[in-house]
Amino acid sequence: MAALIYQHGRTFMTHNQPPEGPLAQGPVTEHESVNETQSRSMHRTVSSRVVGQAARTATAKTAKGKDKDSTGSPQRPNASQVSAWKKENKASIAETAKHFNLPPTIAKRWCAVA
């Protein structure tokens, strides 16, 4: 059975498939077609997001196999942590910067503020 599907002002012929869905019910406006496409796209996105979140919680890995906790950039220490460590260890600015993996100018500024 062949079905005619009207979409964006064009006619599409499908073979060996019974007509089904909103596009097979007759001519549709371009607005209705766009809404349907956006709806399907949003549904796929949401369902993929749910599947991904479930997989991450189950395996503690991302889709690429990375650890879930290691995604994104590492958290940097704040000024009070840097200043406190420098005072506790009686370290220089260079040692403090190296310990926290910071540029020396940032370490100097944070130690001067706190």
Can you tell me the distance from the alpha carbon of 6 to that of 24, in angstroms, rounded to the nearest whole number? Answer: 7
Predicted confidence at residue 1, as pLDDT, reads 44
Check: pTM over 0.75? Answer yes or no.
no
**Helix or strand run (H / E) with residue 87:** helix 79-89
pLDDT digits (tens, 9 = 90+) for 96-112: 999 999 999 999 999 98
Q: CB-based contacts of 35: which residues, under 8 Å, 6+ apart?
A: none
Q: How many residues does the chain have?
A: 114
Predicted confidence at residue 84, as pLDDT, reads 93
User: Encoding tokens for residue 20?
Assistant: 């089904």
User: Encoding tokens for residue 34?
Assistant: 């766009």
Q: Is the pLDDT confidence value at 59 over 50? A: yes
Q: What residue type is 73 in one-letter code?
A: S
